[in-house]
Amino acid sequence: MAADSLTSEDVRAAALALPQTTEKIAWSMPTFRVAGKMFATLPEDETSIAVRCPKEERDELVLAEPGKFWIADHEAQFAWVRARLDRLEDLDELRDILADSWRQAAPAQLLEQYPELGVPRPE
């Protein structure tokens, strides 16, 4: 799948495929949650995603690929990063980003139930 064909429906399908994920509208946009904790949103007219990301990693991502990743001003103090859907390589990259964010929000018990989601795929 070419990156320019990734859509909000791809995000929705990939996010909802993760265990115990729910979708809820908040701040007039779709948000995705596990165990009540938000791990992804579809802001900017659903042309990007916002996901959890440790600040150190987030800063490295933005420096390495500023056309793909950025930090929204109002999220700078939080461990979140934005990614432009049209800049993602493919559906696998989208799934990896969402799974990484899901792992950060999921409770330990859920991570234990789904060990295959507990660690990123090897490069």
Report CA-CA distances (Å) from 13 to 3, 39, 123: 16, 14, 23
Residue range 13-37: average pLDDT? 96
Query: Tens digits of per-residue pLDDT, 28-48?
Result: 999 999 999 999 999 979 999
Query: Tens digits of per-residue pLDDT, 54-113?
Result: 999 999 999 999 999 999 999 999 999 999 999 999 999 999 999 999 999 999 999 999
Q: Please state the pTM of the whole predicted model.
A: 0.91
Give the Cα separation of 40 and 26 in Å (integer): 11
Of the candidates 24, 26, 20, the residue with the CA atom closest to the CA atom of residue 105: 20
Mean pLDDT, the chain, rounded, equals 91
pLDDT at position 1 is 44
